[in-house]
Amino acid sequence: MEQTLVLLKPDAIERGLCGQLIGRIERKGFRIVALKMMLLPHEVALKHYSEHREKDFFTELVAFITSGPLAALVVEGDNVVQLMRSIMGATDPAKAAPGTIRSDYATSVRYNVIHGSDSLDSAKREIALFFKPEEICH
């Protein structure tokens, strides 16, 4: 079984979308093995988005993800990294396929409601940033 990190970003929390988004994940057949609501520390945000450090949107990205509470989930299932990316849709909601989470709920590239790890290696690194091993149910 693969695991991936999913973040319901501050815009999703502010808009009250947690239940709907978690429901979509579970209806896809995935299992949530860890879940917590948190305010992301600035230092963790810097590590989480480190691959974007040299990009012009990095400062805004960190400011947004630390602007309010988010929900962090570890989601488990067969081929979960790729399939979660598929059900989330393109980062730009205008380019996201109809019926994807971002097509249905995101309002812009910046306010795109959800994050999912982009590879198994990223998933392992990101899960370790947000959860201790003993916080993950097996």
Q: Is 52 annotated in the active site? A: no
Tally of CA atoms within 13 A in the half-sphere of 45 that contains its CB: 20
CB 71 within 8 Å of CB 18: yes
Active-site residue, selected from the candidate residues 42, 48, 52, 115: 115
Q: Whole-angstrom Cα distance, residue 53 to residue 60?
A: 11
Query: Tokens at residue 34, please?
Result: 């860890």
User: Residues with catalytic annotation?
Assistant: 115
